[in-house]
Amino acid sequence: MKYLHAMIRVHDLEKTSRFFTEGLGLKQTRRMDNEAGRYTLVYFGAPENPEAEIELTYNWPPEDGSAPEDYGSARNFGHLAFEVDDIYAICAHLQSMGVTINRPPRDGRMAFVRTPDLISIELLQKGQALPPAEPWASMPNTGTW
């Protein structure tokens, strides 16, 4: 058996793709547009293990003009987790892109953010936790993750 990918449905493919590429540094590995099925699949992999992918599924808007399906924020999915070289740097970078740091890395070890489609992302410091540092050490939690 071989693990292949995790799939998440998105409403804004470009915005979520930007989150994963420019925000987290993942690379797009492939893309498939299916005219007949009216959907697009885009796959992303982390530089250190690109074979374990995230699949974004974008279902095209209904042809009849009705509202797209509401995916909600199902908590049974849980989260995706990424090991990062510098948790403070990635949180500062995401914050500069307008991403809310829901659970700041107060401990120098763990943080949570959410994608534009409200998928929780856990960021874990590679190796030992970094020493506590501001502004993270005194930053409160924001929202849910």
Residues belonging to the active site: 122
Q: Name, in order, each residue with C-beta under 8 angstroms of 38's C-beta and a sequence gap of 6 or more.
A: 59, 60, 63
How far is residue 106's CA from residue 120's CA, in Å, rounded to a whole number? 18
Q: Encoding tokens for residue 101?
A: 């740091």
CB within 8 Å of 112: residues ≥ 6 apart = 79, 101, 102, 103, 120, 121, 122, 123, 145
